[in-house]
């Protein structure tokens, strides 16, 4: 069962009403809520799930008699700051619920298609609610409930999923870790822009999608964004693995009344004459490095001057992940970034900044 709910009252009340209409009843006495908070982003940005949606879920769970509620996430960086600036720390204190960093949680091994993977022990004996954000992604087209589960993993397992091919491992993870409820925050969203540009906010969507099937909920959100689920590789693989179908019984706003046309992201970002390229093997550490490079350049006049002279006024191509080749048009000035680029750097004789991921300041010094 899936419901698409228009926000007409407060966000919290809308979530409460959606779960009531869905007739959702938690089956465990303890509930783990896993919202999407990958990095420190301020309240209202289209990169994180709103703390107000989580607050609405907490209100509903309390009404159902649930006393032990835990909010947990494994941010990619700056854990404490991520919880503060996103509004989650303040909200959890107000609601008197525990907020935990999943990187510090006790773990238990679970068998999956690639051997064994370490999962937070809480998952095994708790109701599990997955709260994702309506966003596009450079490698997976969309990042919704299934990809949000990568925030449950240890850093090394997260990186390894990229090296294993990304799409099938995401589907395989969904086959062994199955949320009881998936919620997509579609208050606003993130879409792509012109080639080489970063994502842009899609404002005024004002929807919340809730469903008991992870795959069907993701497929519904993908259709809302204007994408065909069968063309999104990890969703298509999950269907072939018989996780569920793309379709489920629908309630609320009809999909045809709210369908949008999100612009996908490209496989590179450009700032003037600096081109930053990535592949499916590029994990979030290197994907988020561009912002750190820019910040590092702005912290010192010497770094800024070098960044402008060699990174903006002259073309330079920075490659991450495991590109199949380096295009001829990119070979005037090329820099490899991250340990995944070691083989390619050796093959083409290009300078390499090592690290997994490297520091932004080290990249600036190499430009």
Is the Cβ–Cβ distance between 29 and 67 less than 8 Å? yes
d(CA 37, CA 32): 15
Domain positions in the chain are 2-257, 268-366
110/156 Cα distance (integer angstroms) = 15
| The two three-digit tokens of residue 296, written as one number | 């590092």
Quickly tell me which residue has 């629908």 as its tokens. 250
Q: Residues in the chain with pLDDT < 70?
A: 193-199, 329-331
* Burial class, 3, CB count within 10 angstroms (exposed 0-12 / middle 13-18 / buried 19+): buried
pLDDT at residue 196, rounded to an integer: 46
C-alpha Rg value of the chain to the nearest Å = 21
The per-residue pLDDT for 193 is 65
Q: Is the pTM of this model over 0.85?
A: yes
Q: Do the Cβ atoms of 34 and 152 come closer than 8 Å?
A: yes
| pLDDT digits 0-9 by tens, 109-142 | 999 999 999 999 999 999 999 999 999 998 899 9
The pLDDT value recorded for residue 194 is 53
Query: Taking the chain, what is the end-to-end CA distance rounded to the nearest angstrom?
Result: 52
């Amino acid at each position: 069962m899936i419901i698409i709910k228009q926000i007409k009252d407060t966000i919290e009340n809308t979530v409460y009403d959606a779960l009531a209409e869905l007739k959702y009843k938690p089956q465990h006495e303890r509930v783990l809520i896993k919202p999407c908070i990958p990095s420190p982003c301020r309240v209202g940005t289209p990169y994180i799930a709103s703390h107000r949606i989580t607050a609405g879920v907490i209100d509903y769970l309390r009404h159902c008699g649930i006393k032990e509620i835990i909010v947990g996430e494994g941010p990619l960086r700056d854990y404490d700051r991520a919880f503060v600036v996103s509004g989650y720390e303040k909200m959890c204190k107000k609601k008197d619920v525990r907020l935990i960093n999943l990187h510090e949680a006790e773990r238990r091994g679970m068998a999956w298609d690639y051997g064994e993977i370490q999962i937070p022990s809480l998952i095994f004996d708790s109701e599990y609610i997955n709260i994702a954000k309506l966003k596009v992604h450079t490698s997976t087209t969309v990042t919704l409930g299934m990809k949000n589960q990568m925030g449950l993993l240890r850093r090394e397992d997260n990186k390894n999923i990229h090296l294993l091919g990304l799409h099938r491992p995401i589907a395989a993870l969904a086959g062994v870790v199955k949320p009881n409820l998936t919620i997509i925050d579609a208050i606003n969203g993130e879409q792509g822009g012109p080639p080489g540009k970063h994502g842009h906010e899609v404002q005024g969507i004002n929807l919340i999608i809730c469903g008991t099937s992870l795959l069907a909920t993701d497929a519904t959100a993908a259709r809302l964004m204007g994408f065909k689920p069968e063309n999104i590789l990890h969703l298509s693989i999950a269907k072939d693995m018989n996780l569920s179908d793309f379709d489920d019984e629908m309630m609320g706003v009809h999909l045809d009344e709210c369908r949008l046309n999100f612009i996908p992201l490209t496989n590179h970002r450009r700032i003037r004459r600096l081109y930053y390229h990535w592949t499916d093997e590029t994990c979030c550490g290197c994907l988020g490095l561009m912002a750190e490079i820019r910040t590092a350049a702005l912290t010192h006049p010497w770094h800024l001057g070098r960044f402008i002279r060699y990174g903006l006024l002259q073309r330079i191509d920075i490659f991450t992940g495991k590109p199949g080749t380096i295009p001829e048009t990119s070979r005037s000035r090329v820099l490899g970034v991250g340990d995944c680029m070691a083989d390619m750097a050796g093959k083409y004789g290009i300078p390499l900044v090592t690290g997994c991921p490297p520091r932004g300041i080290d990249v600036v010094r190499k430009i």
